[in-house]
Structure 1
Amino acid sequence: MFGKNSKIVGLFILVLSVFVQLGSALSTSSIDDCPQLPARSGPTGVNDLRPDDIKVMAALGDSIMAGFGLEGINDGDGGSGLLNLSSITEFRGKSWGIGGDKGAVTLANFVKHFNSSLEGPAVGKHLIFLCKEHADIDILNSAISGGIAKTLNAELDYLIPQMKELPNVNFENDWKLITIQIGSNDQCSSCSDNNADVTADAYAGYVDAAIERIRDEIPRVIVNIVGTFNVSGVYESTMEDLYIESLIRQEYCRPLFDQPDWILNRILCECFRGTEQDRANMDTLSAQYSAKLHEIYQKYNAQQSDGFAITFNPALNLNIGELPLEALSNIDCFHPGVRAHEWISKIVWNNLFKPQAEKPTAIQNYNENEQIYCPNENDRIRID
C-alpha cells in the first residue's frame, strides 16, 4: 500500500513540476540563464511566433539606434577629450535594438539566444555617417544619425536590398522582426522656424508610409514600433544646480572649452537652447507622437494577415530624466550610454510577450538590475 501511494505522490509531483515549468514566469539577470525552448515543427502563422522562429532582425531609427557615442569618450582612442575618434563613432554592435556584438545586452542577442542562426544584427563600430560604406558592420541596422521620421524611407532604400542580398536569408519564407524607434531629433527640431516635417501629423505620415512599404515589400514580418522618449528630461538632469559639486558634471559631460553652458546636449538639441516653454512643448509633441503611433498600431493591427503584423511598445513611461549621469554618453550627455541601452533592451524585450493592454503605463525609473524575462514554450510574441 505504501509503495502504491509513493507512486501516486511521485506522479503528482511530476505533473506539478511540468505544470510549473510551462506556466510560471522565469526572469533572470542574464539571457544566458534562460532555458532553451523545446523544438517544434514551426509556427502556424504570424500569431504563433516564438523568438526561435525569428530568422532575421532589422532596425530603423536615428543616432540612438545607430549606437552613436554609446561607449563614450575613450581618451586612449586617437586623441584626447572630445577631439578623438570615439567622439564620432557609432557602436552599432551594442545598439539596444539590433546590436550583435558578443556579450552585448541587446534585443537582437536575446533573440539570438533562442535562434543561433539569426541574421541581421550589426557587429562592430565605425565612424558616423558611413552607413552604406560599412554594410558589413551595419548588416540590417539602417539607422541614420541625425535622422527624423522623414528619413525612414531612405533607410528602407538601404534595408530592403541589403536584406535580400544576405546569403543565409530566404527572403520570401524566413520570419522577420523589424524594430523602429525614432522621434528624438524630431522633438529637438520643433523649435526651428522650419519645422513642418516634425509636426505630429507629419511624423505620423512618415512612420505610416514606412510601415506600409514594409508590409508591401517584405514578406513574413512583424514590425515592432517603439514609442518616443521624453528627451527634454536630459536637459533637466544635466542642469548644474542638480549637483552639489558642479565640477563632477562638467568633468563627465565635458563642455566645450570648459564652459558650463556649452554642454554638447545644448548644441545638439535646438530646443535645449530655447525657453522652458520650448522644452515643455517637446514633451507635448512627444505625447502626440506616441498617440499617433498607437493609432497606427491600431490601424495595422486591424489589417494583419498571415504574413504581417505590428506590435507597439510605449516608451513615454521610461523616465529618461532620472537616468543616472553615468547612463548617458560622456561625449554629450545627450545620447544614451551602454547602461541605458541595456536597460531599454530589457524593457522592450519583456514587453514583447505582453498583450497590449498589459504593457506597463506607470513611470518606470532606471533599474540597473532590471530582469530579463525567459519565455516558455507557451509564450508568443504578442501582437494584440
Structure 2
Amino acid sequence: MLNHSNNKTIGLFLLVLSVLASLSSALTASSIADCPALPARSGPAGVHDLRPDDIKVVAALGDSIMAGFALEGINDGPGGTGILNLSAITEFRGKSWGIGGDDGAITLANFVKHYNSSLEGPAVGKHLVFLCGDDENCNYRHPDIDILNAAISGGIAKTLNAELDYLIPRMMQLPNVNFATDWKMITIQIGSNDQCASCGDNTADVTVEAYGNYVEAAIERIRSNVPRVIVNLVGTFNVSGVYDLTMGQEYCRPLFNQPDWILNRILCECFRGSEEDRANMDTLSAQYSAKLHEIYQKYNAQQHDGFAIAYTPATNLNIGGLPLETLSNVDCFHPGIRAHEWVSKIYCPTEDDRIRID
C-alpha cells in the first residue's frame, strides 16, 4: 500500500483492481472478464477519488519494453523460420504490459477497459521496430497501431520530450475523447537503456542528475498541457541481473556456441565490461529510483487541480531470480510475453482494496 501524506484515498486503477466488490473473487479470477464489477456511483469528486471506470484515456511513455519489442520471441518449431523470423525485429504494441489493447491480452490497459468499455488510447497490433533520435521528429510511427503508446525502442530519459511531441497532439486528435474533461492516465517506465549507456564514452545524458531532470521536465510538461491526468510513474530495476541469468544458456542462442556471445552483450554496453561496471549499473538504478521518488514527493507536496502522480518502485524485482523463459529468446534481454503479463498482474489491490499515494 502507498499512503498519501494527507491520507486522501486515490481509488486509482494504477494497480488496477482497486475498490473491488469482492477481493477474494478477484484473486481467483481466471481471466480479466471474471473480475467483479464496481458498485455504481455518480462519478469522481476529483483526482483523488478516481476509480478504473473513471479513466477514459490511457497512454504510455518509455523504451522498447513499453513498445513490446520482441516479446513473442522466435519460433523454431513447425512453421518457424529461425533468426530470420520477423518477430525478432517486431514491436508487439498491442500486448505491451502497460498499454496493450489486443483482444485477450493481459495488460494494464485491458484491466482498465474491463471497467470502462469506452476506453481510448490502448495500442493494437504490431509493426516492425523503429528507432528515433531524442531530438528529432520521428516520421516512422504507425499512429493507427501505436495510438497513445509513444514509447521509442532505444529510448532513454532524454527521449521523453520527443515522445511527448507525438503523444500530446495524438491524444488531442482522438475523435471520441473530450481532451478538456475526460480523465487520463499516462504510464512512464524509463531507465533500462540509461543504465546500459553508463559505461560509454558519452555519459552526460544518463547521470542521476540528468535522468531526474529529463523525467521531471516530462512530468511538468504533462501537468502543464494535459488536463485531468494521473501520471503512473514506474521505478527502475537492476538490469544487470540479466547478465548472469543468461550466461551460457542455449535458450539465448549464443553465437558460435560461445557461452558469453549472447545478443544482450551487444545491446547493453556495460555487459561487455567488468563486474564492477555491472555493479555500478545497480548503484545507478537505485539512484534513479530515489530520484523518481523525490520527484513524486515533490509533486504530492503541492496542490494541483486535476493532476496527481503515483509511484510504483521496482527495486525489489530480482531479475536474476526469474525463470529464463520470462525473457525473449530473441536476445535474452527484453521481457517476453510471460514477463509482460506478470508485470501487469502484480498490480493487485491490498487487503483493504484501496491504493493510496504517499
Structure-to-structure mapping, 1:227-306, within 5 angstroms: 227-240=235-248, 249-250=249-250, 252-306=251-305
Q: Is the 8 A contact 2:185 2:231 kept in 1?
A: yes
2:321 matched residue in structure 1: 322
Query: Aligned partners of 2:205, 2:64: CA distance in 1, in Å?
Result: 18
Q: Structure 1: where are the runs of 5+ without partners? A: 1-20, 241-248, 355-372
User: Is the contact made by 2:21 and 2:38 (CA closer than 8 Å) also made in structure 1?
Assistant: no
Deviation, structure 1 residue 38: 2.4
> What is the alpha-carbon distance in structure 1 between the residues aligned to residue 78 and residue 58 of structure 2?
31
Structure 1 residue 257: deviation in Å? 4.1
- Retained in 1: the 8 A contact 2:247–2:259? no
Paired residues of 2:60 and 2:187 also in contact (CA < 8 A):
yes
The answer on whether the counterparts of 2:63 and 2:152 sit within 8 Å (CA) in structure 1 is: yes
**What is the CA–CA distance in structure 2 between the aligned matches of 1:230 and 1:128, rounded to whole Å?**
24
Rate the CA distance shift 1:104–1:199 in 2: closer, same or farther, 3 A.
Answer: same
Kindly report structure 1 stretches of 4+ aligned residues shifted beyond 4 Å. 21-26, 75-79
Contact 1:78 1:85 in 2 (8 A): no
Q: Name the one with the larger helix percent.
A: 1
Asked if structure 1 preserves the Cα contact closer than 8 Å seen for 2:21 and 2:36, the reply is no
Which residue does 2:108 correspond to in 1? 107
Whole-Å Cα distance in 1 between the matches of residues 158 and 78 of structure 2? 34
Aligned-partner Cα distance in 1 for 2:263–2:334:
10
Aligned positions, number: 330
Tell me the residue number matched to 2:223. 215
Where does residue 383 of structure 1 map in the other structure?
357
Separation in structure 1 between the aligned mates of residue 185 and residue 309 of structure 2, nearest angstrom? 10
Following superposition, the deviation at residue 78 of structure 1 comes to 9.4
The 3-state SS of whatever aligns with 1:170 is coil
Tell me the residue number matched to 2:143.
Answer: 135
Q: Secondary structure at the match of 2:71?
A: coil
Q: Work out the CA distance in 2 between the residues paired with 1:76 and 1:142.
A: 33
Higher relative contact order (CA 8 A, sep 6+): 2
Report if the CA contact (8 A) 1:309-1:383 is conserved: no
* Match status 1:148 vs 2:149: no
Whichever residue aligns with residue 219 of structure 2, its letter is I
Deviations for 1:58-95, whole angstroms, at most 9, x for unmatched residues?
A: 00000000000100013489973222211000000110
2:107 pairs with 1:83: no
Whether contact under 8 Å (1:231, 1:321) holds in the other structure is no
Aligned to 2:141, what secondary structure does the other structure show? helix
Secondary structure at the residue paired with 2:195? Answer: helix
Distance in 2, matches of 1:174 and 1:28, equals 32
The aligned residue for residue 120 of structure 1 is 121
Tell me, yes or no, if the aligned pair for 2:247 and 2:260 is still in contact at 8 Å. no
Would the alpha carbon gap of residues 78 and 141 (structure 1) be closer, same or farther in structure 2, given more than 3 Å must change? farther
CA distance in structure 1 between the aligned counterparts of 2:270 and 2:168, rounded to whole angstroms: 34
TM-score by structure 1 length?
0.82
Q: CA deviation at 1:23?
A: 7.9
Show structure 2 runs of 5+ residues with no match.
1-19, 132-137
Which shifted more, 269-278 or 29-38? 29-38
Query: Contact 2:71 / 2:334 at 8 angstroms: preserved in 1?
Result: yes
Coordinate RMSD, CA, aligned: 2.0
Amino acid at match of 1:58: A
Cα 1:77–1:271, aligned 2, differ >3 Å: closer, same or farther? farther
CA distance in 1, matches of 2:60, 2:312: 14
After superposition, what is the alpha-carbon deviation per residue over 1:137-191, rounded to whole angstroms, capped at 9, x for unaligned?
0000000000000000000000000000011111000000100000000000000
**Cα–Cα, structure 1 residues 259 and 83, in superposed 2: closer, same or farther, change >3 Å?**
farther
Distance apart, 1:199 and its partner CA: 0.6
Distance, in Å, in 2 between the alignment partners of 1:38 and 1:72 is 40
SS of the aligned residue for 1:209 comes to helix
Contact 2:66 2:96 in 1 (8 A): yes
Matching residue of 1:92: 93
Maintained 8 Å contact 2:21/2:37? no
TM-score by length of 2: 0.88
Match for residue 36 of structure 2?
A: 35
Say which of 199, 202, 205 aligns to 1:194: 202
Partner of 2:4: none
Q: Percent identity?
A: 79
Distance 2:51 2:255 in 1: 48
**Contact 1:98/1:122 (8 A) holds in 2:** yes
